[in-house]
Protein backbone atom coordinates (compact mmCIF):
# COMPACT_ATOMS: atom_id res chain seq x y z
CA UNK A 1 0.00 0.00 0.00
CA UNK A 2 1.40 3.39 -0.94
CA UNK A 3 1.27 6.11 1.67
CA UNK A 4 1.45 9.81 1.18
CA UNK A 5 1.71 12.44 3.86
CA UNK A 6 -0.49 15.44 3.31
CA UNK A 7 -0.50 18.27 5.82
CA UNK A 8 0.73 16.02 8.61
CA UNK A 9 -1.81 13.21 8.03
CA UNK A 10 -1.38 9.94 6.19
CA UNK A 11 -3.64 8.93 3.35
CA UNK A 12 -3.68 5.62 1.49
CA UNK A 13 -3.81 5.36 -2.27
CA UNK A 14 -6.62 3.14 -3.51
CA UNK A 15 -7.79 2.82 -7.10
CA UNK A 16 -11.29 1.50 -7.82
CA UNK A 17 -13.01 0.44 -11.04
CA UNK A 18 -16.43 -1.05 -11.71
CA UNK A 19 -18.36 -2.73 -14.50
CA UNK A 20 -22.05 -3.44 -14.96
CA UNK A 21 -23.96 -6.16 -16.75
CA UNK A 22 -27.60 -7.30 -16.95
CA UNK A 23 -29.57 -10.52 -17.10
CA UNK A 24 -33.24 -11.52 -17.23
CA UNK A 25 -34.51 -13.97 -14.63
CA UNK A 26 -37.65 -14.68 -12.67
CA UNK A 27 -38.07 -15.32 -8.97
CA UNK A 28 -40.75 -15.62 -6.33
CA UNK A 29 -39.93 -14.72 -2.75
CA UNK A 30 -41.28 -16.75 0.15
CA UNK A 31 -43.43 -14.55 2.37
CA UNK A 32 -43.42 -14.62 6.20
CA UNK A 33 -46.72 -16.53 6.29
CA UNK A 34 -45.22 -19.35 4.18
CA UNK A 35 -46.95 -18.34 0.96
CA UNK A 36 -45.01 -17.21 -2.10
CA UNK A 37 -45.10 -14.12 -4.27
CA UNK A 38 -46.37 -14.72 -7.78
CA UNK A 39 -43.42 -15.53 -10.07
CA UNK A 40 -42.22 -12.39 -11.81
CA UNK A 41 -39.30 -11.37 -13.97
CA UNK A 42 -36.71 -8.63 -13.67
CA UNK A 43 -33.99 -7.26 -15.90
CA UNK A 44 -31.41 -7.52 -13.12
CA UNK A 45 -28.51 -5.05 -13.14
CA UNK A 46 -25.26 -6.25 -11.58
CA UNK A 47 -22.31 -4.00 -10.75
CA UNK A 48 -18.96 -5.29 -9.50
CA UNK A 49 -16.46 -2.88 -7.97
CA UNK A 50 -12.82 -3.90 -7.56
CA UNK A 51 -9.86 -2.05 -6.09
CA UNK A 52 -6.12 -2.18 -5.84
CA UNK A 53 -3.38 -0.25 -4.14
CA UNK A 54 -1.16 -0.31 -7.20
CA UNK A 55 -1.67 -0.18 -10.93
CA UNK A 56 -0.40 -2.89 -13.27
CA UNK A 57 2.18 -2.31 -16.04
CA UNK A 58 -0.56 -0.87 -18.26
CA UNK A 59 -1.58 1.63 -15.56
CA UNK A 60 -4.80 -0.24 -14.67
CA UNK A 61 -6.25 -1.80 -11.54
CA UNK A 62 -7.73 -4.38 -13.90
CA UNK A 63 -8.80 -4.34 -17.51
CA UNK A 64 -12.51 -3.44 -17.77
CA UNK A 65 -13.10 -6.03 -20.49
CA UNK A 66 -11.54 -8.83 -18.44
CA UNK A 67 -13.66 -7.93 -15.40
CA UNK A 68 -16.80 -7.64 -17.53
CA UNK A 69 -16.13 -11.05 -19.12
CA UNK A 70 -15.87 -12.63 -15.66
CA UNK A 71 -19.06 -10.93 -14.48
CA UNK A 72 -20.91 -11.76 -17.72
CA UNK A 73 -19.98 -15.42 -17.29
CA UNK A 74 -21.65 -15.54 -13.88
CA UNK A 75 -24.66 -13.50 -14.99
CA UNK A 76 -24.98 -15.78 -18.02
CA UNK A 77 -25.61 -18.74 -15.71
CA UNK A 78 -28.59 -16.84 -14.28
CA UNK A 79 -29.93 -15.42 -17.54
CA UNK A 80 -33.36 -16.66 -18.62
CA UNK A 81 -33.76 -18.86 -15.56
CA UNK A 82 -36.08 -19.22 -12.64
CA UNK A 83 -33.64 -18.38 -9.86
CA UNK A 84 -35.12 -20.89 -7.40
CA UNK A 85 -34.10 -23.74 -9.75
CA UNK A 86 -30.42 -23.04 -9.00
CA UNK A 87 -29.15 -25.23 -6.13
CA UNK A 88 -27.97 -22.28 -4.02
CA UNK A 89 -31.43 -20.70 -4.11
CA UNK A 90 -33.20 -23.88 -3.13
CA UNK A 91 -31.61 -23.29 0.28
CA UNK A 92 -31.47 -19.47 0.22
CA UNK A 93 -34.10 -16.85 -0.54
CA UNK A 94 -33.86 -15.47 -4.08
CA UNK A 95 -33.67 -11.88 -2.84
CA UNK A 96 -31.47 -9.23 -4.44
CA UNK A 97 -29.33 -9.42 -1.28
CA UNK A 98 -28.67 -13.14 -1.73
CA UNK A 99 -28.11 -12.73 -5.46
CA UNK A 100 -25.44 -10.14 -4.66
CA UNK A 101 -23.76 -12.58 -2.25
CA UNK A 102 -24.03 -15.46 -4.74
CA UNK A 103 -22.36 -13.42 -7.49
CA UNK A 104 -19.71 -12.05 -5.11
CA UNK A 105 -18.75 -15.54 -3.95
CA UNK A 106 -18.32 -16.72 -7.55
CA UNK A 107 -16.47 -13.66 -8.83
CA UNK A 108 -14.01 -13.10 -5.98
CA UNK A 109 -11.85 -16.24 -6.55
CA UNK A 110 -11.47 -15.39 -10.26
CA UNK A 111 -9.77 -12.03 -9.67
CA UNK A 112 -6.05 -11.56 -10.25
CA UNK A 113 -3.64 -11.27 -7.34
CA UNK A 114 -3.65 -7.79 -5.81
CA UNK A 115 -7.20 -7.00 -6.93
CA UNK A 116 -9.86 -6.96 -4.21
CA UNK A 117 -13.58 -7.32 -4.83
CA UNK A 118 -15.09 -4.45 -2.87
CA UNK A 119 -18.77 -4.87 -3.57
CA UNK A 120 -21.35 -6.50 -5.81
CA UNK A 121 -24.58 -4.54 -6.24
CA UNK A 122 -27.71 -6.14 -7.68
CA UNK A 123 -30.70 -4.09 -8.78
CA UNK A 124 -34.01 -5.70 -9.58
CA UNK A 125 -35.56 -2.50 -10.86
CA UNK A 126 -34.58 1.13 -11.25
CA UNK A 127 -33.90 2.65 -7.84
CA UNK A 128 -34.04 -0.69 -5.95
CA UNK A 129 -30.77 -2.47 -5.29
CA UNK A 130 -28.89 -4.46 -2.70
CA UNK A 131 -25.16 -4.87 -2.22
CA UNK A 132 -22.85 -7.42 -0.67
CA UNK A 133 -19.29 -6.88 0.52
CA UNK A 134 -16.94 -8.55 2.95
CA UNK A 135 -14.60 -6.99 5.49
CA UNK A 136 -11.01 -7.58 5.44
Q: Return d(Cα 62, Cα 19) in angstroms, integer.
A: 11
pLDDT in tens, 28-87: 998 889 899 999 999 999 999 999 988 888 888 899 999 999 999 999 999 999 999 999
Which strands form 15-27's sheet, in the order they lie side by side?
Answer: 81-82, 15-27, 40-52, 116-125, 128-132
Domains of the chain: 17-132 (3.30.479.10)
- Per-residue pLDDT tens digits for 97-129: 999 999 999 999 999 999 999 999 999 999 999
pTM of the predicted protein model: 0.87
3-state class of 33 per DSSP? coil
Assess contact for 25 and 123: CB atoms under 8 A: no
Characterize the bridge pairing of strands 40-52 and 9-12.
unpaired
CA 53/CA 56 separation, integer angstroms? 10
CB 114 within 8 A of CB 127: no
d(CA 44, CA 123) in angstroms, rounded, equals 6
| Angstrom distance (rounded) from CA 89 to CA 30 | 11
Amino acid sequence: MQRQCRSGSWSFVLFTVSVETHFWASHELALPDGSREPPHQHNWAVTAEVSGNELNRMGLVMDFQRLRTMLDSIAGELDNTTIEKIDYFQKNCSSAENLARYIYERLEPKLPKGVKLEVVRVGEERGCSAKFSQDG
